[in-house]
Structure 1
Amino acid sequence: MKLVISCMDRRLNAYLKKNYGDAIVVRNAGANLKSLQKTLEKYKYSATEVIILPHTDCGAMKVVYSSLKEGKKITFLVEENLVSQFTNNEFNSLTELERLNLKIQMENARRIFGDKVRGELIDINRIEIPPSKEPYSVYVTSPSLPLNMDSNTYVISADKSDIWDSLDIAVYGMKINKILVSDEKLFDKIRSSYPSVTVTRSS
């Protein structure tokens, strides 16, 4: 089984569907494996190939950069699960940080999956991105084959225990005000956690 770990960015939807249509795809903010412990447990022995796919112009990396270089406040979960991985590393630009993220996530993946891991930093300027229109939303679901999602929708596909820092980035960092949820039990919890955001059930 091929396992892809990538970012929730809406601009990757068509790319992942076209190029990794036969893979199980896990997505969160920044392709951050530290936040995916519960999710990845399920694939530790069944995955025969693991592909790490962060990208350039990444919103999650902009949050990390602004936190460490500009002192902007973030939530505890984002600090603990994402930003903390970069605090002891040198970088002087967002580009350097994005390359560093690929390196760190590859190392994280190899601790779990060994030599099955490969990775690539997707250049967002070199992939085909269908037209989109604001306002954007974020769709929360379980890992699956790539979904037929338009370019208006960010996708978090992970175990329900692993979604919260990505939602914090979507809501507080990227100011997304609509969340679509496929899990009925998760719906109420997300709605109570983000009362200022419109939360909708989606199939």
Structure 2
Amino acid sequence: MSVYSGMKLVVSCMDRRLNSYLKKKYPDAIIIRNAGANVNSLLITFEKYKDRVDDVILLPHTDCGAMKVVYSSLKEGKKITSLVEEKLVSQFSSKKFSSLSELERLNMEIQKENLKRIFGDKVRTELIDVNKIEIPPSNEPYMAYVSKPSQLAELSSNIYHISAEDKEIWDSLDIAVYAMKINKIITPDEKTVEKIKAAYPSVIVSTTSF
């Protein structure tokens, strides 16, 4: 048995509506989040954990903004950044689906297989139905919070949370800024602040931690 016996790793989407659900159900787990629970964009992040966890839980969800980006790109020809194409959309270009719900189920299966290549039989999965979870109300404007993987902090339901190593945040930020029109990003790391400011000069970026 691993010396890290019992450590859980949760892989989920950055969607703001999942914050309360993840915090309540997995308070002691290490949380990794990006656009669409996209394993393909988290390989560096997972390298730190592949021999340290006994339980890996994949939690994509319904009504997913990242899957809407994939759908609109492949079915409607909408433009996306080359990074989002490479890291996210390309996984689905040869797959058959006719609706967003089919795409979301397909995403769950693709990401599950990707995770199993890293963690083997430790992986289990659930597609979260956002219509069946409690989402605390918030009147605050939407923003994105970028952090390293850790146990989930208390985040209100206006905050999209990207939790990954620095090199693997950028396709999710592209989706947050260009697809979801997020214009404020916060992060506890000052070096990351400067990099984000350089990449997205029209966005307000500040140093904050939770």
Same fold (TM > 0.5): yes
Partner in structure 2 of residue 172 of structure 1: 178
Aligned partner (choices 21, 44, 54) of residue 15 of structure 1 = 21
Paired positions, count: 203
For 1:38, the equivalent position in structure 2 comes to 44
Distance between the aligned counterparts of 1:89 and 1:154, measured in 2?
28
User: C-alpha offsets along residues 55-86 of structure 1, whole Å, 9 cap, x if unaligned?
Assistant: 00000000000000000000001000000000
1:60-116: CA deviation from partner (whole Å, max 9, x where unpaired): 000000000000000001000000000111000000000000000000000000000
Which amino acid in structure 1 is aligned with residue 28 of structure 2?
Answer: D
Displacement of 1:35 after TM fit?
Answer: 0.3
Cα distance in 2, alignment partners of residues 51 and 2 from structure 1: 8
| Corresponding residue for residue 197 of structure 1 | 203
Match of 1:181 in 2: 187
**Structure 1 segments of 4+ aligned residues over 3 angstroms from their partners:** none
Letter in 2 for 1:16: L
Gaps of 5+ in 1: none
Residue in 2 that maps onto 1:74? 80
Please list, as runs of the form range in 1=range in 2, the aligned pairs for 1:1-203 lying within 5 A after superposition: 1-203=7-209
Residue ranges of structure 2 left out of the alignment (5+ in a row): 1-6
Counterpart residue type for residue 147 of structure 2: T
Amino acid at match of 1:84: S
SS in 1 for 2:90: helix
Alpha-carbon distance between aligned partners in 2 of 1:168 and 1:182, rounded to the nearest angstrom: 19
TM-score by length of 2: 0.96
Amino acid at match of 1:70: E
| 1:26-45 per-position Cα deviation (integer Å, ceiling 9, x unaligned) | 00000000000110000010
C-alpha distance after superposition, 1:138-160 (max 9, x if no partner):
00000011110000100001000
2: distance between equivalents of 1:182 and 1:74?
A: 28
Q: CA deviation at 1:200?
A: 0.9
How many Å separate the matches in 1 of 2:166 and 2:108? 24
Letter in 2 for 1:104: I
How far, CA to CA, are the matches of 1:70 and 1:47 in structure 2?
40
Q: Could you tell me how far apart the structure 2 residues matched to 1:95 and 1:134 are?
A: 29
Q: CA deviation at 1:134?
A: 4.7
The alpha-carbon distance between structure 1 residues 91 and 134, as it changes in their structure 2 partners (threshold 3 A), is: farther
**Structure 1 length-normalised TM:** 0.99
Using the TM superposition, give the Cα deviation of residue 133 of structure 1 relative to its aligned residue in structure 2, in angstroms.
2.2
Deviation at residue 197 of structure 1 after TM alignment: 0.5
